[in-house]
Amino acid sequence: MAAIWHNAISAQDDDLNLEDLTKIEVSSVSRRNQSLNNVPAAAFVISADDIRRSGAQTLPDVLRMAPGIQVAQIDSGRYAVTARGFNGRFSNKLQVLVDGRSIYDPFFSGTLWEHDQIPLEDIERIEIIRGVGAAMWGANAVNGVINIISKHSHGEANGMLAASIGTHGQRQLYARAAGNIDADTSWKLSAQGRHAGPAKKSADGSYSADDLTASTVDFRFDRTLTAGSALTVWANVANSTQGDLYPFTINPLDPMVLDPIAVDEKTSTQMLGARYRWLTEQGFESSIQSSLSNAQIGLKNAFEIRYVKFDLDYQGRYTFAEHDLLWGLTHRTMSDEAWSNFAFEMTIPRREFTQRSSGVFLHDNWTLVPDTWQLGVGARWDQSNLGGSFLSPSATLMWTPTRNHTLWAKYARAPRIPSRAESDVSMISGYQGPTTGPFLSMLRSQPGSLPLSRETIEGGELGFRSQLAPHFSIDLSLYRYRYANLVSSTLGTTEVNLSFGPIPVVIQNLDRNNAANGWLTGAELSLDWLLSPTWRLQLSYALTHVDMDASSNPISDAQGKADERGTARHTGSLRSQWNLSENQQLDAWLRGSSGMVRTLSPYTTEIRIPGYVTLDLRYAFKLTRDLEIALSGRNLIGPRRVEYVSDYVPATPVVIEPSLQLTTRWKF
């Protein structure tokens, strides 16, 4: 929406109508292009212009503008990002795609945002679908789907340089070259380097070791072959290094003091992918997409994993009478090799493992009454050597009484398959000081006696989307879902370890199981108001409530309460985009979140993270049509704050401080 709005107000169109702005198309809801106003789902689109005018330097910060998406910065490069609750360092209920290719990590379960440094300048739009999306996108699309769509090379037939420098050691340089070989063939090559300095520890204000250095090189090739057929090829190489402090070791001079160790997390990824689309004379639309990627992730002298992933995705579409039929199949193979040098803190019994998952889906979009009633019914069957076989059904009903008003209802069920780490890895997850004797108590999370099964979510949503006035629109969604078989823990055996010297270490094992169940309820609101041809306001708000069942198992019960209290109940965003003149822009972004309580193992240590309200400002001036200078300020109001305390990996908490950024963009 924002890209259309920006182009329109640049032309100073006094007759601008908001109805024209809501015709932007999305493809992630049902794998086919649809108008945003005509999709039976809680959908939100962030355009390239929204990204630029946000002043953000990272993708997670951009996602803060979408209702229902909860973003918390852990340190200089790491983020916890989720949809509709259950946030964490490894948020395992959100499927993230880049041009339809999943970057969900099946070893850790979730998206590691510091590993995928996607240049914001390369993004055409971000489609965010809150709610279950497994019938289309498979396992792990539980609470939402984010599809990051890159720019077509044909529209980028020029060069570009963008440089940023800011406080806290922030530096970034982006360069792009592109061209048209002929009328049907184009290419694009881009590169980005980014550095972020270390943040300050929340405990004493000294600097942590979380500085980040990352680089990315992307290549894209597009060719239109014949009418209705096209070929796209992608290639990507990325590297990153980020430090941290892990309180893993015991100080030999004082066995009761945990001594943090500095670690460097290094990643290297390479990807090659291609997509071919074609149309037959009989009207069958088809596409096949495949990618091969290689990655290495490691903590120096401590932990390393190397894996190769192969993805294949085929889909077909045929429209006849009142039916729009979509079908397809997918396959993923991931072979990994992992080892740990933490003989005590982390053990991986199977050094090599191959995960395989395959799925087929079928969906029918049936027009019951033209332009008024539409029924969507579909299902997907998947098989995985970790999660077994499962069926993910989905049904939607949409009523459009007028072209400006839409009401929809949705039912869906989805699985989340257990990750390799959950199934195999044992690791120290918490520490306790001495209580009744000269010993240190530790908790170790480990696989239970029975293999983990898949988690499931099932429930429904209601939505209303309307253009109430020529310059005002509203989007409202309500949902309630039931979770079953969530991964939890129960008390296992107790051990005594004498490896650390004269002071014995008592280890309480926590065995993983599927003992947790609960409810997820919430509401999301988005308002879009065009006050004038040069001034736009956009409001987003989300209410999220996690209610876990009580359990007779004390550890599972404590974990359930931690999930409830660890979810921010309220999040909101108010964005103002104002074109002061043809060459000046002033953008303001007021956003905030209610507080939460992070409860760490052994689920007796509580860390209260207060709510916050903060403000971002951006002023941009165009010296020429192709040269722009912008000054951005982030987190300008409110106290310095901790947004999140990492789970699983006991990283050092740091504070988020105000920052300034100067950016220059030059197209040539």
Contact 71, 61 (CB under 8 A): yes
> Does residue 356 surpass a pLDDT of 80?
yes
The answer on pLDDT for 482 being more than 80 is yes
Helix (H) or strand (E) holding 355: strand 352-369
pLDDT tens digits, residue range 1-15? 333 343 333 333 333
pLDDT at position 85 is: 92
d(CA 619, CA 359): 48
Q: Rounded CA gap, 299 and 307, in Å?
A: 15
Lowest mean pLDDT among 41-50, 295-304, 352-361, 620-629: 295-304
612-634 burial string, b = 16+ CB within 10 Å, else e? bebbbbbbbebeeeeebebebbb
Chain centroid, CA 7 distance in Å: 28
Q: How far is CA 468 from CA 26, 164, 404, 420, in A?
A: 22, 40, 8, 49
Report pLDDT for 4: 33
Q: How many CA atoms lie within 13 A of 178 on its CB side?
A: 27
Position 431, amino acid: Y
pLDDT exceeds cutoff 70 at 603: no
Q: What is the pLDDT, as a whole number, of residue 508? A: 84
Average pLDDT on 334-355 reads 86
215: pLDDT strictly greater than 90: yes
How many CA atoms are closer than 13 Å to the CA of 517, on its beta-carbon side? 9
Instruction: Tell me if 103 sits within 8 A of 238, measured CB to CB.
Output: no
Domain positions in the chain are 2-667
Mean of pLDDT values over 37-51: 93
* Cβ count near 502 (within 10 Å): 7
pLDDT given for residue 501 in this prediction: 57
Supply the pLDDT for residue 12: 36
Q: Across the chain, what does the average pLDDT equal?
A: 89
CA atoms within a 13 Å half-sphere pointing along the CA-CB vector of 646: 22
Kindly report the length of the chain: 668
Cα–Cα distance, 206 to 74 (Å, whole number): 16
**What mean pLDDT is predicted for residues 87-93?**
89
pLDDT for residue 113: 87
Between residues 497 and 291, the one the model is more confident about: 291
Sign of the alpha-carbon torsion through 596, 599, 604, 608: negative
pLDDT tens digits for 14-41? 333 455 555 677 888 888 888 888 899 9
Are β-strands 426-432 and 440-447 bridged in parallel, bridged antiparallel, or unpaired? antiparallel
Q: Single out the residue of 179, 88, 90, 81 nearest to residue 425, CA to CA.
A: 90
Judge contact between 273 and 233, C-beta under 8 A.
Answer: yes
Given this model, what pLDDT does residue 570 score?
97
Cα–Cα distance for residue pair 73/634, rounded to 1 Å: 13
pLDDT for the residue numbered 255: 46
pLDDT band at 273 (very low <50, low <70, confident <90, very high): very high
Q: Give residue-wise pLDDT tens across range 489-506.
A: 988 888 876 655 566 778
- Tokens found for residue 255: 């066995």
Whether 580 contacts 586, CB under 8 Å? yes
Residue 323: the pLDDT is 96
What whole-number distance in Å separates Cα of residue 152 and Cα of residue 396? 31
Q: Taking the alpha carbons of 11, 618, 572, 549 in that order, is the dihedral positive or negative?
A: positive
What is the token pair recorded at 315? 């889909």
CA–CA dist 153, 148 (Å, integer): 15
Residue 251 pLDDT exceeds 70:
no
Computed on alpha carbons and rounded to an integer, the radius of gyration of the chain in Å comes to: 25
Q: Which of 242-251, 341-350, 409-418, 644-653 has the lowest mean pLDDT?
A: 242-251
According to DSSP, the β-strands at 285-299 and 258-279 are antiparallel
Going by pLDDT thresholds of 50, 70 and 90, the confidence category of residue 438 is low
Per-residue pLDDT band for 344 (boundaries 50, 70, 90) equals: low
In tens, the pLDDT along 387-403 reads: 889 999 999 999 999 98
Over 70: is that where the pLDDT of 59 sits? yes
| Contact (CB, 8 A) for 661 and 631 | yes
Rounded (5°) CA angle 514-520-524: 150
Which of 24-28, 217-221, 432-436 shows the lowest per-residue confidence on average (mean pLDDT)?
432-436
pLDDT of residue 14: 35
Facing residues of 162 across strands? 174, 665
Handedness of CA 485, 490, 495, 501 (dihedral sign): positive
* Tokens found for residue 373: 């009633």
H/E element, 380: strand 373-384
Buried b (16+ CB within 10 A) or exposed e, 255-265: beebebeebeb
Q: Classify residue 217 as exposed, middle or buried by CB count within 10 Å of its CB (0-12, 13-18, 19+).
A: middle
CA dihedral 545, 549, 550, 556 (to 10 degrees): -100
CA separation for the pair 7, 534 (Å, rounded): 11
CB 85 within 8 A of CB 567: yes
Start-to-end CA distance of the chain, whole Å, equals 26
Q: Nearest 5°: phi and psi at 36?
A: -55, -30
Q: What's the confidence (pLDDT) of residue 9?
A: 35
> What pLDDT was estimated at residue 33?
85
Evaluate whether the domain defined by 2-667 bears CATH number 2.40.170.20: yes
Which of 230 and 251 is assigned the larger pLDDT? 230
| Closest CA relative to residue 495, chosen from 483, 509, 481 | 509
pLDDT at 666 over 90: yes
Each residue of 569-588: pLDDT tens digit? Answer: 999 999 999 999 999 999 99
Ranges of H-type helices in 15-164: 18-21, 48-54, 59-62, 134-137
The tally of CA atoms less than 13 A away on the side-chain side of residue 349 is: 7
Report whether 290 contacts 302 (CB < 8 A).
Answer: no
pLDDT of residue 571: 97
